[in-house]
Chains A and B, each alone.
Chain A
Amino acid sequence: MGSSAKRKKEKQKDFQKPKLKVGKAKAKPENFTDTSFRSKAITLNQQSLHIAAPTSNSQFTHFLSLLSSKSDSQRRDSLAHLTTSIASRPVNSPLPQPVSVILPGLLPLILDANNNVRIQLLKLLRTLPRNDIEDHVGQLLPYVRAGMTHLAADIRVSAVEILSWMVEAAGENVVSSAGGWVKTMNCFLSVLGWHTEESSRWSSNRASFGKSGSQGKPMVKVLGALAEFLDAGIGQPSGSGGDSSDHDEQSSSPFPLHQMGHHMITESSAPYAYLNLFGQPRDEEGEMYETREDRYRVFSTRFLPAIDRGLKSAREEGGELGRASSGVSKVLKEALAYGPGP
């Protein structure tokens, strides 16, 4: 009884009305925080001032470190600086820092909330040398895919832009990297909303959740990127001279050597990546589809119906969207005409 009485008293205390008195200041609430104090600034007596200007290399690393800054403008400015310093370097000279050092800082910016930062990022990416990109596609792709499915439409669009740049720069690597084909296709379908029969009908709520972007015509851009992506993945191999060159090689090599190219160590940076010796075990979606034949097989079984359906409804919609969809249809038609392969 004793303890419960005490408890009751405590409870009662919470509901007592504070007494207001004329001429007295109002009582402060219990959770009041005194913010009247002022912090004093600390001035450093000895600042590290140098007479000599920092070298361009050290400046480059400095700006690289600023990429993870909290302020939007600082990120954007440092990106701009990096872009100019890369673009203005003498021709054929190496980058101030290797791509493998630059890239980890850049990757999270694909998902940056600020539009300008992302635009600047794309500019920077475009300045990077293409053959360096080829080896880092595996790192880039997850971020791009995360961007493509982002809730914010702007981020989706810029991710699609980055993807189309990647396809342009290293198409073969993009489609044949681990998870590059199936997962990215899935992302495309989800951006376009073509996954199921129901969701691709014109009557379904196309306006996706989240704020529609300020950049306009997102669907058109996505369709364009899809066309490029499909072309890189299952389009007719450029210059069917591949076969002929094979023949040439066969014929040109001296007699005992037979199909020498196949037995040489390949020139790509990670020739045994498909063995997946050190990574997580992959499932069907995350598998590498290295040849066009594989990709075509997967595509025709998993994505073809959905894409056909989507294209049809897009064409029916007409306008700019219809025009963009016709680009995709063209690529698709060519690929289908080429069939599973020679």
Chain B
Amino acid sequence: MVKRKLGALEKVEADLPNLQHKIRRDPKSYVEDFRAQHYQYESHREIFMAAPTSATDTGVISLRDLIDFISHVADCYPDILKDFPQQLIDLLMQHHLVLEPELREKIVGSLVLLKKKDCMDSATLLHTLFPILISTPSKTLRALLFQKILSELRTANARTTNHKLNRTMQTVLFNLVTSDRRSSKALWAIKLTRELWKRQIWTDAKTVEIMKEASLSENEKVTAGGVRFFLGGDREREEMEDEDSDDDVDVGRIRHQLGINKKTKKKARVAEKAVAMHKKKEKKKNQPHPLNFSALHLLHDPQGFADSLFTKHLKTSKINRHNREQKLLVLQLVSRLVGLHKLHIMSLYSWFQKYLVPKEENVTSFLASLAQATHDLVPPDVLEPLIQKIANEFVSEASAGEIASAGLNAIREICVRQPLAMNETLLQDLVMYKKSKDKGVMMASKGLLSLYRNVGADMLKKRDRGKEASMSLRAGDREQRRFGQQESGGIEGIELLEKWKEEERRKKRAENGLDPDAEGDEDDEDADWDAWNVEDDEDSDDSGGWINVESDGEIDFSDSEDEGKDRPSKKAKQDAENKEKDASEEAKISSLATTRILTPADLAKLAELRAQAAVDSALPKSRRGQVGDRHVDDGLTAEEIEGLAALSKGKLTREERIAHAREGKTDRAEHKSKEARRKERKEEQGKSTTNKEKARRKNFLMTLGKARSKNKRSLVETRAVLKAHHDRAKRGGKRGNLGN
């Protein structure tokens, strides 16, 4: 190695780090030395201020070193350094354009350090750094500042939410976005807000308000940033959460290793830390999940927002600065808002008219957006021409299979949301395509058919109605919903909860040796009731935080005349076997939700069941055929409109088929034998091979001697060896099983 060059400071043996170290140990004794260095800093600052541009660090000690030194010991002499932070702030604010990069970065770092030492408050720090962030032309400084600001906000919110700071910062960002609508500076506000949203530091309506203003900006980049936030911010947040929970340590393994390996203090400490971390994580897991609303739900005035988005960015085509992709994004957001909040933007539908031609680029996205923007409060006569147009443009024998199936899918998606938009002749026309030779078209058409069997069977031809629908039509118990008619309210997933409760009850009864299906008498029922209470208590223990709530079992609200009967839920269940299904469903809704108060434990279970159901429906098998069971929060994508268009392309190639099969499976590197994979895993964990493996790998020459000697053994020797082997095998190895 080359000998290190001796710095000038080392020659004079007076280095600041050394002094810093001594001051930190004993501030009082070194006050004079510190004072001298402070004067030194003052003079250097004076020199610098006299000519900020031409300042060159020719001396032994540069201003940078002095600033570093002073900020490191700032907490020791608060009275001497009263205005030191202010001086640094002034220096940075006034001269950040001409400061040399290293000094500039040092000042930023020192300011953060001073904040950490409580020599200044975080509001001042942020008020200093943020204006520089948006005004400096230097890329490195911007990166540094952004990182510092972000970490400052994170630390400020680490323990408890620092509402005051958040509010001031949000106001600053809001003003930045709204003050100059044309400038791209608002990008920084977006970047910062999105990052903080992702980390769940900011989750309130004010944050969303900033993004809302950003998406209404006149700068296309800013607009795109804001819109992207609304479309993807929540997904990003969830992914971040998953990531956080991903990297946990295996406590069991660490404990095991501690038992085996050499015991050192360090290892014990590591294990302790791991256990503590694990406990903390468990605790966090058990805490009630913070209720995070998605950004779309936190909007104050969705109607106004969607209206202005539409008029500003989409409708006025004369001064449209946005390219196609950005336009599509905005459209997606608008339609999402309309669908989610059931808004009314009548001109939106007529605007769609001109984009609904197969030649249009990304037409499936337009179709998806149209379907998304449909809800049951849109007047059917607005949608009818659109559906007519889609049918005319896309669905014909002459058009390609993919196009026809995309059109049919789009029509189906629209009609799922507003079944009244379809007229009889068109529907019967479209249903005819179920005989199409093209598989994609056929499937799409069948999808439409099955939808209308449910929602409007009388519009179909008699032979298309199917058995169930025609039977219920004849019985007259199925009536078509009228425009604006609302379904009587229910709780999503309540039937799942009830089913689960029922199963639990049956299990309980089976355990007690009773017939699970039989209805117990009143006493039995009471006992069961008690058991349920206990069970609920256990449940609430699981969910944490509700332990101290006494008797949080269900409270029976049934009146005295109901006493004699079984509980309504059970009755309903019993009836369900006899009656028709839809009737029982109605009864179910009325039963559980209206007869008792759902405890927090119940609600937790409900959420769990709902999530489970969602996961189930995500599986490819049960996915097919389901049309309307999508969660309202999820947007509709172009892929869904394209649907099974792949089917109409003809046969897949082998590679495509393999890729398709792979899709559903977890990622696996390559095909290997089980043995090979096991060996790999062992190697990864740093474990050794088995004896068998060792024997097999042993060098041939080493084995030669033994093999040769074996040949020369006498008969007696051979016998002895064999006998010993036999005995050993019987005993169970060299050490043997101690029992026998």
Contacts and interface: CB of A to CB of B under 8 A. Distances in A.
Given A113-B11, A199-B31, A210-B14, A150 B684 contact: no
A314 B58 CA distance: 36
Contact of A155 (B12, B29, B30, B49): B12
A146 B47 contact: yes
Interface stretch (B34-42, B178-186, B432-440): B34-42
Interface string B42-64: 11101101100000101111000
Contact of B60 (A111, A149, A196, A199): A111
A35 interface: yes
Contact of B14 (A2, A187, A211): A211
A12 B14 contact: no
Contact of A151 (B12, B247, B668, B686): B12
B13 interface: yes
A145 to B, nearest CB: 4
B39 A190 contact: yes
A111 B11 CA distance: 14
B609 interface: no
Given A151-B16, A154-B12, A146 B36 contact: no
Contacts of A155: 12, 60
A8 interface: yes
Interface in A116-163: 139, 142-143, 145-146, 148-155
A142 B47 contact: yes
B19 interface: yes
| Candidate in B14, B30, B33, B36 with the most chain A CB atoms within 10 angstroms | B36
Nearest to B19: A209
B667 interface: yes
B8 interface: yes
A8 B684 contact: yes
B144 to A, nearest CB: 27
A235 interface: no
B579 interface: no
Interface string B661-695: 00000011100000000000000101000000000
Interface string A255-297: 0000000000000000000000001100000100000000000
B47 A150 contact: no
B36 A12 contact: no
A68 B57 CA distance: 11
B613 to A, nearest CB: 26
Contacts of B49: 280
A190 B31 CA distance: 10
Contacts of A205: 29
Given A154-B12, A155-B12, A211-B12, A149 B30 contact: no
A183 B403 CA distance: 85
B: contact size bracket: 35 or more
A145 B43 contact: yes
Contacts of B47: 142-143, 146
Contacts of A279: 50
Nearest to A3: B667
Contact of B22 (A4, A145, A209): A209
B36 A190 contact: yes
Interface of A, helix, strand, loop or mixed by DSSP: helix
B31 A113 contact: no
A3 B2 CA distance: 40
A233 interface: no
B667 A142 contact: no
B46 A195 contact: no
Contacts of A179: 46
A3 to B, nearest CB: 9
A4 B37 CA distance: 51
A114 to B, nearest CB: 8
A211 B61 contact: no
Contacts of B56: 108
B577 interface: no
Contacts of B40: 146, 149-151
A15 to B, nearest CB: 9
Contact of B32 (A113, A195, A280): A195
A209 B36 CA distance: 10
Contact of B58 (A2, A68, A149): A68
Nearest to B45: A142
Contacts of A2: 667-669
A111 B59 contact: yes
A230 to B, nearest CB: 19
Contact of B61 (A4, A12, A150, A209): A150
B37 A149 contact: yes
Nearest to A35: B2
B39 A183 contact: yes
Contacts of B61: 111, 150-151
Given A68-B58, A108-B59, A142 B684 contact: no
A152 B11 CA distance: 10
Interface in A199-218: 199, 205, 208-211
Given A183-B42, A190-B32, A209-B30, A151 B667 contact: no
B14 A195 contact: no
A8 B40 CA distance: 51
B577 to A, nearest CB: 45
Contacts of B46: 142, 179, 286
B14 A152 contact: yes
A101 interface: no
B12 A145 contact: no
25 contacts: A4-B247, A5-B684, A8-B684, A35-B2, A108-B59, A113-B8, A113-B9, A142-B46, A142-B47, A143-B43, A146-B40, A149-B40, A151-B37, A151-B61, A152-B13, A187-B39, A195-B35, A196-B31, A205-B29, A208-B32, A208-B36, A210-B13, A210-B33, A211-B14, A279-B50
Interface of A: 2, 4-5, 8-9, 12, 35, 68, 108, 111-113, 139, 142-143, 145-146, 148-155, 179, 183, 186-187, 190-191, 193, 195-196, 199, 205, 208-211, 279-280, 286
Given A187-B39, A208-B32, 9 more contacts: A2-B667, A4-B247, A8-B684, A113-B12, A142-B43, A142-B46, A179-B46, A208-B33, A211-B12
Q: Which 3 A-B pairs have the closest CB atoms?
A: A151-B14, A210-B14, A146-B43
